[in-house]
Structure 1
């Protein structure tokens, strides 16, 4: 049996530069001349051959490069709602914006080299009327805003380049304003690379990685399990042993996993009794930094310390956490509820692939009630509200929801009916303290120190 060695042909002097290319590509699966910046595409192209080999052998990912793009085609093992597309004001896309984004890509794929925004809206609107409950009414301001958000997302990645006019002016008054865009068809086609014919699918789960029922030898299965274990550690904030199947648990505990990922990314892999996590000391691998600036993140950090102390001192009751399969099932049900069944070709629909069911260990975690969380957030607001942004200070309920959502996305807590479960990684922040410094007239200073 031969074992692949990560970065085999990279010298020790160049390893840091290669690892920087890996981190850039993992964080930005589409890279163009200008996105995410001018230096990323030359960096990735320099290491393209080694990246292509390592990412495939280690993770099962495929790197596709063209003259002006680099596209990383990932394998999706589970449904993830923690990394949505976002508007330029950092608001997550809703269903309408996602639908307009895909329909806009479809229109651009059959367009020439330029298109007016009103023409693009007309074409997308014609397609949108075929989807029950969607539509695109250019007389409707929320519809125009959602459409312009989708266009702006494509513009940020270089698929569209504004040649004249203003999309914001068109959104405010489409009768008196217009915008003209140049279309980069290479980027359009790099962006939209579906792995399945969507009209043949009856569930979003068909887009997830699977063995498709093929018979596999023992060595092939071991290699597939090793790749999936590496992907989980790379893609999740933390992987708990209790949340993985027996075959994956074995791979998570294997010494080669940490060695491969550390040499690939340049980040350290931390293994504890409960699970495994990559520690992103560079701040350039994770798409969400924690702790970070902003009131929701600050409140989430303070709340995590309160929860950890409550668990240690009050020993609340323990409840089992939802398994990965149960989480996927719940998310799939929400997504499938919006599937335009009228567009699915029943006679050509693909059967859902056979996916191995994880036999997870039974694990129970401390249960923290919604009432306790609400009381804790009120106390935090009273103690540190002077350091919170004004928009959040008067709405502790909304701040609590945002803080809990952030903690859940980081797998520090698991949301359940009536409260949350405190997961093991939360203990990392049990010694967090905060100091509110005197406020300046133009800014709020909020310093957080982790003394754990």
Structure 2
């Protein structure tokens, strides 16, 4: 089956824009992410449903006011968190309040006051060990209203009267009234399994075909088709897929010319293959949630640090070449992340007789090793960068280069340019793209040094 088979060359760019919208925003409503998104997706619904199912194994569900992409999850991904009103990542408490708010809205009518909703969530939270919600405490009210605001941005709630911010500051004197869009509320939360049947977060991953052997009974053709879909998903959803980190059953699919052809025609982006792996290159930022290189002190510092690492680990540094160490395997990273999530699961509520086996990633790294940079090296280099380009950095970051280093390394790790390990970091192959980066600077009339451009 050819991707976008019924789309004319003149309309292909418009269709690819609809694909990118859905991939970046799995829930689209009349107001989210913008008013033009839903009409665009609805125009291409039939072709989108066919292509996303065949290429990626995703399901597209549409109603009069929603388009919901039900994705298949192969890995745990902490890089796209829900965000608060101030664009900070949700913590566990906010995620818990979000789920309890959805449950309360599901039992409500067409309108609800904020205090009434808070009372319902508070009552449910009190029955969960270690959670609770006290509306007398401002931090709890802040966390709750962050969950409400997240739903409001997506159209599940619409403010009819009052102010949530005023309620947070003084719940005795302020109030807010919301209209409930039950259709959107129902579309927000579509779990792949009933959570009472889940012992571990890994049970939500789609790895059964490769770990339980059930694919053998379905035939080799079915397994190849599933492997091809998984390979495409990995390339599309991760900054880079390194061959050394995936199961050998996927190597052939990742190297297949069909993978690049399908993804490029589906998204309009470029698939780049190197000896170490495969990556989708999104130079325009049309699909990526994080642009790199990007603006701001952290992104600029991360780029300069990446350039220093790439040069230090390059072929020109044979005398002081860093030691080579293996990176944590995909299975190790999954186990570490799952362990942190599972530590908060209320196992007493799991229906053991209905819970199936936990699904875990079995892929192991091969013999790949990567240059190791100790923390002392990174701290020294960051201090040098602050000294050289400090006038272009914010005063807060200039005063705390270690904090800037931590944020820059976290960004590079999110993009799979480095891997953080005990005592330092590993330079991963994609980092070589930034070897030779230079910063051009200019001086304003007041002689303040600023970045003009980073290449």
For 1:419 and 1:40, how far apart are their aligned partners in 2?
43
1:323 lines up with 2:320 in the alignment: no
Deviation at 1:133, TM superposition (A): 1.0
2:270 to 268, 271, 275: 268
Deviation at 1:86, TM superposition (A): 1.0
For 2:163 and 2:85, how far apart are their aligned partners in 1?
15
For 2:425 and 2:116, how far apart are their aligned partners in 1?
48
TM alignment of 1:77-226, pairs within 5 A: 77-211=74-208, 213=212, 214=214, 215-226=217-228
The 8 Å contact of residues 374 and 400 in structure 1, kept in 2 or not, is answered as yes
Count of residue pairs the alignment pairs up: 445
Deviation at 1:69, TM superposition (A): 0.5
Q: TM (normalized to structure 2)?
A: 0.95
1:46 to 43, 67, 70: 43
**1:330-389 CA deviation, whole Å, 9 max, x = no partner?**
100000011122322334333224x56224321000001111111111111111121112
TM alignment of 1:273-312, pairs within 5 A: 273-312=275-314
**CA separation of 1:55 and 1:444: change in aligned 2, threshold 3 A:** farther
Question: Which 4+ residue blocks in structure 1 deviate beyond 4 angstroms?
Answer: none
**1:254-300 CA deviation, whole Å, 9 max, x = no partner?**
11000000000001111111111111133111111111111111111
Q: Equivalent residue of 2:192, what SS?
A: coil
Deviation at 1:434, TM superposition (A): 1.3
1:365 lines up with 2:370 in the alignment: yes
1:57 lines up with 2:54 in the alignment: yes
For 1:115 and 1:18, how far apart are their aligned partners in 2?
39
The 8 Å contact of residues 285 and 291 in structure 2, kept in 1 or not, is answered as yes
Q: TM (normalized to structure 1)?
A: 0.96
Q: Equivalent residue of 1:348, what SS?
A: coil
Which residue pairs with 1:423 in the alignment?
A: 428
2:349 to 317, 321, 343: 343
For 1:343 and 1:124, how far apart are their aligned partners in 2?
18
What 5-or-longer segments of structure 2 have no aligned partner?
Answer: none
Q: Equivalent residue of 2:60, what SS?
A: strand
**CA separation of 1:437 and 1:145: change in aligned 2, threshold 3 A:** farther
Q: Equivalent residue of 2:405, what SS?
A: helix
Q: Equivalent residue of 1:152, what SS?
A: helix
Q: CA-atom RMSD, angstroms?
A: 1.5
**1:64-87 CA deviation, whole Å, 9 max, x = no partner?**
000001000000001111111111
Which residue pairs with 1:246 in the alignment?
A: 248
Worse-matched range after superposition: 84-93 or 355-364: 355-364
**1:114-157 CA deviation, whole Å, 9 max, x = no partner?**
11111111110111111111111111111111111111111111
Deviation at 1:417, TM superposition (A): 0.5
Q: Equivalent residue of 1:288, what SS?
A: coil
The 8 Å contact of residues 331 and 361 in structure 2, kept in 1 or not, is answered as no
What 5-or-longer segments of structure 1 have no aligned partner?
Answer: none
**CA separation of 1:439 and 1:74: change in aligned 2, threshold 3 A:** farther
For 1:38 and 1:260, how far apart are their aligned partners in 2?
29
For 1:361 and 1:16, how far apart are their aligned partners in 2?
39
Deviation at 1:445, TM superposition (A): 5.0
**CA separation of 1:142 and 1:44: change in aligned 2, threshold 3 A:** same
